[in-house]
């Protein structure tokens, strides 16, 4: 589906180089979107989120125990427009979450 995924199992001192390299490879492939996964408990998460926000990533979700039993933060970057208002959302929680994601995306 022309989507990419970057997974940080551990965020190290070279996070900027590693992230830029991985993202560059995916963008050369003309992907529609990229998901970024990182463990919530990683001490370097704040640095990675800052780098990701600078590159148009926005909040996408949380994954409970998605990575080796660890909870993950999921950010996403899109190279195409998505009309969230056209999604068929049924619960108030889902509607509220979609609004939050849309707001976060507008702030990039």
Task: Report yes or no: 76 and 33 within 8 Å, Cβ to Cβ.
Answer: yes
CA distance 78 to 67: 23
CA distance 39 to 84: 27
- DSSP structure class, residue 9: S
Looking at residue 78, its pLDDT comes to 86
The residue that leads in pLDDT, 45 or 78, is 45
Q: Which two tokens stand for residue 50?
A: 């800052």
Span 7-58, pLDDT tens digits = 999 999 999 999 999 999 888 888 889 999 999 999 999 999 999 999 999 9
0.85 surpassed by pTM:
no
Report the DSSP pairing between strands 3-8 and 33-39: parallel
Looking at residue 8, its pLDDT comes to 95
Residue 67 φ then ψ, to 5°: -130, 100
């Amino acid at each position: 589906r022309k989507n990419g995924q970057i997974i940080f199992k551990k965020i190290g001192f070279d996070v900027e180089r590693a992230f830029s390299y991985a993202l560059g490879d995916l963008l050369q492939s003309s992907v529609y979107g990229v998901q970024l996964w990182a463990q919530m408990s990683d001490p370097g998460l704040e640095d990675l989120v800052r780098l990701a926000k600078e590159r148009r990533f926005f909040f996408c979700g949380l994954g409970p125990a998605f990575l080796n039993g660890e909870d993950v933060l999921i950010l996403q970057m899109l190279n195409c427009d998505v009309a969230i208002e056209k999604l068929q959302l049924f619960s108030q929680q889902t509607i509220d979450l979609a609004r939050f994601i849309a707001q976060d995306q507008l702030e990039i």
